[in-house]
Amino acid sequence: MPVREKILVALSGGVDSSVAALLLKQQGHELVGAYMKNWINEDNVIGHCPWQQDIEDARRVAEQIGIEFRVVNLMQEYRERIVQYLLDGYARGLTPNPDVMCNREIKFGVLRAWARDHGFTAVATGHYARRELRSDGTYALFEGADKNKDQSYFLALLDQSQLRDARFPVGHLPKPELRRLAREAGLVTADKKDSQGICFIGEVKMSDFLRAYVPDAPGPIIRAGDGREIGQHHGLHYYTLGQRKGIGVPSNTDGEAYVVVGKRADDRALLVAFDHPNAPGLFQREVRVHSLSWIGESMAATADLTGRVRYRDPRVSLTFVPEAGNTGHVVFSEPQRALASGQILALYEGQRLVGGGVYV
């Protein structure tokens, strides 16, 4: 039998965290469910922000399971650490990843600190990932058993102390089995649709979110290669490397579509090319990453690893070469498409997540 712990369960109002709480309750742990109140659409950003319904669903699940429920207000910290990071990144021409940062800074940062201050030994979430104790007393993090739902990528910037206090009760389950458990328990979230929105903001279009907070900064759309101007854009922050839709320039007479291949800050030029394998800047064999974070010991020597270049992409072979200043040089076995500055590279040894970094 596992040691009985006092655990704070982050209840988002979705089925995954609901079943996480259910399983921990069945295992005999002392639980309190907490909804993180991070964003209430206070600025009337266009989009669906269902925080009120999510709170009610989370509260109802806590009642059904028979645990105490609290709403933890982290709005100020979320605005400072996630929203500002998001806006600053886009304003500088980057493509930030708020979900990865939300896990590091909020769920296993601010909420973890709040939990420890209130006598909890751990924070549990509904992530599809597996945490295992190693023989040396440290913890390792592995992909979720359901490869279609694996969320280890979003945990790539956690450190050992955060993983020590984390619990992932559903990481061993396939999603259909998880929903079956929820239905058998009669949980109100059993058939609730999975959220596809920004971490704890809701299903808001990123372009609408940015339009509300980042001023337009028009510039030319330039065809890479010949330097010809073929249009105008409203701001580089609305575009990301590899984007095909919504660029604002039509396909050619052969039906070939343009794709974003770069951004030029000095004249705010958006660089585009036809979507071919040889489009300049679209594919990269080598990249540098910064702000490296390691779950265990840092990589001090060149290593052959695998990496997930973005969520839902399969892992690919690579060679990692450590550099000074918490940076690294990455050489992929095959060129990778549209590696946008500011996004996250997750690094693995087999199914074990070892860390991650941010594309330069």
Q: What confidence tens digit (pLDDT) does each residue in 42-79 have?
A: 555 555 557 788 999 999 999 999 999 999 999 999 99
The two tokens of residue 350 are 């087999």
Beta carbons of 355 and 140 less than 8 angstroms apart: no
Q: Which residue has the higher pLDDT, 255 or 128?
A: 128
C-alpha distance from residue 91 to each of 23, 55, 165, 213 (Å):
43, 32, 34, 10
pLDDT per residue over 239-250, tens digit each? 999 999 999 898
pTM: 0.93
How far apart CA 347 and CA 316 sit, in angstroms, is: 10
Query: For 131-171, how does the pLDDT look when each residue is reduced to its tens digit (9 = 90+)?
Result: 999 999 999 999 999 999 999 999 999 999 999 999 999 99
Give the CATH class of 283-359: mainly beta
Please tell me which residue in 34, 61, 86, 102 is annotated as part of the active site.
Answer: 102
**Domain chopping of the chain, boundaries:** 6-126+169-207, 216-274, 283-359
Asked if the model's pLDDT at residue 84 lies above 80, the reply is yes
The CATH number for 6-126+169-207, chosen from 3.40.50.970, 3.40.50.620, 3.30.1390.10, 3.40.50.300, is 3.40.50.620
Res 190 pLDDT > 80: yes
Cα–Cα distances (Å) from 302 to 45, 89, 299, 320, 332, in that order, read 46, 30, 7, 6, 13
The residue assigned the tokens 């450190």 is 159
Instruction: Give me the torsion for CA of 8, 10, 11, 12, rounded to 10°.
Output: 170
Q: What integer pLDDT is reported at residue 203 of this predicted model?
A: 62
Q: What residues contact 62, with CB distance under 8 A and at least 6 apart?
A: 11, 21, 33, 68, 69
Half-sphere CA count of 54, side-chain side, radius 13 A: 27
- In the annotation, is 199 catalytic? yes
Closest CA to 358 of 330, 336, 324: 330
Measured distance CA(126)–CA(182) in Å, rounded: 13
Mean pLDDT, range 302-323, rounded to an integer? 97
Is 49 annotated as catalytic? no
SS3 216: coil
pLDDT of 179? 98
The CATH architecture assigned to 216-274 reads Roll (2.30)
Burial 260-275 (b: 16+ CB within 10 A, else e): bbbbeeeeebbbbbbb
Q: Which two tokens stand for residue 79?
A: 């605005």
Structure tokens at 157: 């910037």
- pLDDT for 211: 87
Q: What is the mean pLDDT of the chain?
A: 93
Confidence of residue 197 (pLDDT cuts 50, 70, 90): low
| Active-site residue, from 158, 199, 236, 354 | 199
Asked if residue 216 has pLDDT above 60, the reply is yes
Whether the predicted pLDDT of 41 surpasses 60:
no
pLDDT band for position 254 (50/70/90)? Answer: confident
